[in-house]
């Protein structure tokens, strides 16, 4: 790259945001210029990152931490400060060549849309954007000519070996799953899962919400939905296989029998580097993969009885309409309730399934998905339904 690539990071204090900035700090001097950094609550860390990486502006969603952020940046008046959700969207709208959308959950949809509408390169780790608003999101990307660069390790893997010029020759893609910490647990054992158990992922280091999604395998369910939209595939062409070593991240099967796979050590800096330097390559400080040192690579089908989230995800793809957004909203409420001790681990999937059932006949649920305002309305109503479900489940705990 001959000129500095102007980049912004939405969700800079999270694991993906920090990994992105780690790569930026290791790149050749002058390769990148940090435009905007955003965070939800961690004012001091956001200020430190902005100072370290020379950001032009920062935005913090938590208004109660505004004073903390301003004090931390008082000696750096050249760094612009924005406070509140509107400021996050404004930061996402700042002119940049490349934006990392790493705000977790449906909360990331508005700022990600603002970044998308710049018509540049959008790297996204926020799968919920496509889950909640798939057709609308893809139409918007096409309208603005935005290049979507997936950062989830599985989708990035598929992106690297998916030959767009040979789409008619592609028979199927396969997303791999680690299986999480409960891959070998029985349903009886899973009834006793604690918060500590569920946050102890055997392979990846991620934020709490995504780690719980991995433990329930809802993360893989959301990824199936994301893959269908991102690659324009019917769900029958998207397979999932449990691969506990997390070495093979995605595979594409072609009509001549060839299966192309992307392999790498389980380190998020690899897919981030792929997106950050696209269409080129950049060095990443990850452990080199040595096939000769691998004793084995295991694969097994997922158990949808113990992990019903996969079945629920495929059900909402078939249902269409508001169902995927309901699934996502209910899951976010259920995961938060598990993390705060309100419900048990197995109640997460129960809450999602019951919320989906209630949403079908709910009089206040929007009937269609024709605009982004519908997405936000569905999300609000689904959260209310899920809270009612959680209240009922909590009584039984």
Mean pLDDT, all residues of the chain: 95
Q: What per-residue confidence (pLDDT) applies to 294?
A: 87
- The tens digit of pLDDT for each residue in 136-149 reads 999 999 999 999 99
**In this structure, is residue 272 part of a structural domain?**
no
Do 87 and 196 belong to one domain? no
Average pLDDT over residues 75-83: 97
CA distance 231 to 161: 12
CA distance 305 to 321: 26
- The tens digit of pLDDT for each residue in 232-291 reads 999 999 999 999 999 999 999 999 999 999 999 999 999 999 999 999 999 999 999 998
Q: What per-residue confidence (pLDDT) applies to 395?
A: 62
Residue 54 in tokens: 């020379």
**In this structure, is residue 74 part of a structural domain?**
yes
Q: Quick check: 397 pLDDT over 60?
A: no
CATH number assigned to the domain comprising residue 37: 3.40.50.720
CA distance 243 to 220: 12
- The tens digit of pLDDT for each residue in 317-341 reads 999 999 999 999 999 999 999 999 9
| In contact, 243 and 299? CB cutoff 8 Å | yes
Q: Quick check: 203 pLDDT over 90?
A: no
Q: Quick check: 396 pLDDT over 80?
A: no
Do 88 and 171 belong to one domain? no
Q: What is the pTM of this model?
A: 0.94
- The tens digit of pLDDT for each residue in 1-19 reads 568 999 999 999 999 999 9
Do 191 and 308 belong to one domain? yes
Q: How many CB atoms lie within 10 A of CB 380?
A: 13
Distances in Å between the alpha carbon of 125 and those of 148, 192, 247? 11, 31, 19
Do 34 and 125 belong to one domain? yes
Do 34 and 97 belong to one domain? yes
Do 324 and 353 belong to one domain? yes
Do 394 and 310 belong to one domain? no
CA distance 286 to 19: 11
Q: What per-residue confidence (pLDDT) applies to 4?
A: 94
Q: How many CB atoms lie within 10 A of CB 258?
A: 10
CA distance 378 to 366: 6
Count of domains observed in the chain: 3
From 100, 123, 150, the end of a domain falls on: 150
Closest CA to 327 of 340, 313, 339: 313
- The tens digit of pLDDT for each residue in 173-194 reads 999 999 999 999 999 999 999 9
Q: Quick one: pLDDT band at residue 206, thresholds 50, 70, 90?
A: confident
- The tens digit of pLDDT for each residue in 30-63 reads 999 999 999 999 999 999 999 999 999 999 999 9
**In this structure, is residue 183 part of a structural domain?**
yes
| In contact, 326 and 316? CB cutoff 8 Å | yes
Q: Quick one: pLDDT band at residue 106, thresholds 50, 70, 90?
A: confident
Q: What per-residue confidence (pLDDT) applies to 24?
A: 97
**In this structure, is residue 57 part of a structural domain?**
yes
Do 304 and 334 belong to one domain? no
Q: Quick one: pLDDT band at residue 164, thresholds 50, 70, 90?
A: very high
Do 67 and 194 belong to one domain? no
CATH number assigned to the domain comprising residue 354: 1.10.1740.10
Which residue range forms the structural domain that includes residue 19?
A: 5-150
Do 228 and 310 belong to one domain? yes
Q: What per-residue confidence (pLDDT) applies to 291?
A: 87
CA distance 366 to 360: 10
Q: Quick one: pLDDT band at residue 104, thresholds 50, 70, 90?
A: confident
Q: What per-residue confidence (pLDDT) applies to 2?
A: 67
| In contact, 146 and 125? CB cutoff 8 Å | no
Do 161 and 186 belong to one domain? yes
Rg (CA), the chain: 21
Do 114 and 198 belong to one domain? no
């Amino acid at each position: 790259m001959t000129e500095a690539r102007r980049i912004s990071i939405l969700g800079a204090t999270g694991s993906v945001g920090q990994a992105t900035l780690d790569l930026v700090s290791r790149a050749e001097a002058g390769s990148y210029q940090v435009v905007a950094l955003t965070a939800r609550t961690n004012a001091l860390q956001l200020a430190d990152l902005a100072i370290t990486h020379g950001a032009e502006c920062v935005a913090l969603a938590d208004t109660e931490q505004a004073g903390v952020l301003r004090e931390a940046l008082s000696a750096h008046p050249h760094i612009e400060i924005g406070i509140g959700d509107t400021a996050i969207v404004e930061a996402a709208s700042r002119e940049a060549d490349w934006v990392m959308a790493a705000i977790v959950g449906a909360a990331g949809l508005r700022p990600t849309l603002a970044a998308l509408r710049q018509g540049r390169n959008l790297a996204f780790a926020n799968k919920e954007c496509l889950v909640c608003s798939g057709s609308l999101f893809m139409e918007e990307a096409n309208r603005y000519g935005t290049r979507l660069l997936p950062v989830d390790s599985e989708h990035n893997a598929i992106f690297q070996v998916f030959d767009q010029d040979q789409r008619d020759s592609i028979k199927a893609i396969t997303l791999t799953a680690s299986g999480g910490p409960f891959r070998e647990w029985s349903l009886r054992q899973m009834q006793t899962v604690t918060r500590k158990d569920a946050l102890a992922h055997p392979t990846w280091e991620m934020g709490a919400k995504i780690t719980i999604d991995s433990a329930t395998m809802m993360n893989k369910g959301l990824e199936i939905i994301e893959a269908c939209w991102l690659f324009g595939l019917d769900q029958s062409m998207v397979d999932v296989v449990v691969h506990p070593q997390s070495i093979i991240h995605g595979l594409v099967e072609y009509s001549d029998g060839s299966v192309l796979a992307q392999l790498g050590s389980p380190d998020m800096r690899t897919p981030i580097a792929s997106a950050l330097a696209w269409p080129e390559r950049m060095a990443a400080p990850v452990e080199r993969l040595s096939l000769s040192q691998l004793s084995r690579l295991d694969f097994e089908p997922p158990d949808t009885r113990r992990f019903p989230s996969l079945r629920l995800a495929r059900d909402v793809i078939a249902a269409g309409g508001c169902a995927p957004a309901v699934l996502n909203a209910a899951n976010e409420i259920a995961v938060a309730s598990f993390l705060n001790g309100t419900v048990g681990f197995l109640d997460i999937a129960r809450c999602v399934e019951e919320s989906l059932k209630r949403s079908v006949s709910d009089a206040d649920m929007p009937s269609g998905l024709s605009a982004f305002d519908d997405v936000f309305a569905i999300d609000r109503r689904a959260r209310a339904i899920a809270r009612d479900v959680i209240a009922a489940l909590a009584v039984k705990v």
